């Protein structure tokens, strides 16, 4: 089956990389993700990826415990670079050419993020992992994903989660939570649903950027979403 999208931005949380341990990097988990990304790449899809860093360090949580917020956020950005280098390793082990580009320059380990260069890498069918968030404190990696998707001209953001899509509540805690196969950006904001932070959702809404939220824990779901199958929750301008 052909791909529905030509260029995607995949958002992966650090918690997904941690697996059952809840912290650090679970190598079988990240290797499995690399395999799924390779399958999508084989369709000719151009892939950008933004990773969180919560499996290593959560800046907001550290700030809540009394650490300086700016310093904590920069530490969180460094954690995303560690995750990005790890994913690069597993992708290239599978024969997928990959570039890590960081919003904070660190020339010895990765390239600086330059929009035109990132787009050129995508056009050459290299997977581009966009690390260090936006490079600024007080912004989440969800906002970074929305910003980078818009900047690089992605057709869609694919937000990988551990549940089947967007619900009215946390389905892992509330068995009565309602699943939404489709929902509007505005409805997410009005309901206060914890899909992405409000800045990220507003960026998507203002730029009419589609968002698909799906369960990456189910093998093959990423490929199905890219092929346009009815997996997860689709977010757009108005409910269907």
**Is 170 annotated to bind ligand?**
yes
Indicate the pTM of the whole model: 0.95
Mean pLDDT in residue range 26-46:
97
Mean pLDDT in residue range 177-203:
95
**Is 65 annotated to bind ligand?**
no
Residue 213 · residue 161 · CB < 8 Å:
yes
**Is 58 annotated to bind ligand?**
yes
**Is 73 annotated to bind ligand?**
yes
**Is 53 annotated to bind ligand?**
yes
DSSP string, 134-155: TSSTT--HHHHHHHHHHHTT-S
pLDDT in tens, 169-187: 888 888 899 999 999 999 9
**Is 141 annotated to bind ligand?**
yes
| Alpha carbon distance 62, 81 (integer Å) | 18
Q: Two tokens at 228? A: 């346009």
- What residue has token string 């917020």? 69
Q: State residue 238's pLDDT score.
A: 64
**Is 139 annotated to bind ligand?**
yes
Best CA proximity match to 73, nearest among 37, 32, 103: 103
The helix (run of H) or strand (run of E) holding residue 112 is strand 111-112
| Alpha carbon distance 204, 206 (integer Å) | 6
**Is 9 annotated to bind ligand?**
no
Mean pLDDT in residue range 106-121:
97
pLDDT in tens, 78-107: 999 999 999 999 999 999 999 999 999 999
Domains located in the chain, CATH noted: 7-236 (3.40.1160.10)
């Amino acid at each position: 089956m052909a791909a529905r999208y030509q260029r995607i931005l995949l958002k992966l949380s650090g918690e997904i990389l941690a697996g059952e341990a809840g912290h650090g990097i679970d190598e079988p988990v990240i290797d499995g993700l690399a395999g799924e990304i390779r399958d999508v790449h084989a369709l000719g899809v151009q892939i950008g990826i933004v990773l969180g860093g919560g499996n290593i360090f959560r800046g907001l949580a550290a700030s809540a415990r009394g650490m300086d917020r700016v310093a904590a956020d920069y530490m969180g950005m460094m954690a995303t670079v560690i995750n990005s280098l790890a994913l690069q390793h597993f992708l290239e082990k599978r024969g997928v050419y990959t570039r890590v580009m960081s919003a904070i320059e660190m020339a010895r380990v990765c390239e600086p993020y330059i929009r035109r260069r990132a787009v050129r890498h995508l056009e050459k069918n290299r997977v581009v992992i966009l690390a260090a968030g936006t490079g600024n404190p007080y912004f989440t990696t969800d906002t970074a994903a929305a910003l980078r998707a818009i900047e690089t001209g992605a057709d869609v953001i694919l937000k990988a989660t551990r549940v089947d899509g967007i619900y009215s509540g946390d389905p892992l805690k509330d068995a009565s939570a309602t699943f939404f196969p489709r929902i509007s950006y505005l409805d997410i904001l009005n309901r206060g649903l914890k899909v992405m932070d409000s800045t990220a959702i507003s960026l998507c809404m203002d730029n009419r950027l589609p968002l698909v939220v799906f369960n990456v824990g189910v093998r093959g779901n990423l490929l199905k979403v890219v092929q346009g199958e009815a997996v997860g929750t689709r977010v757009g301008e108005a409910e269907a």
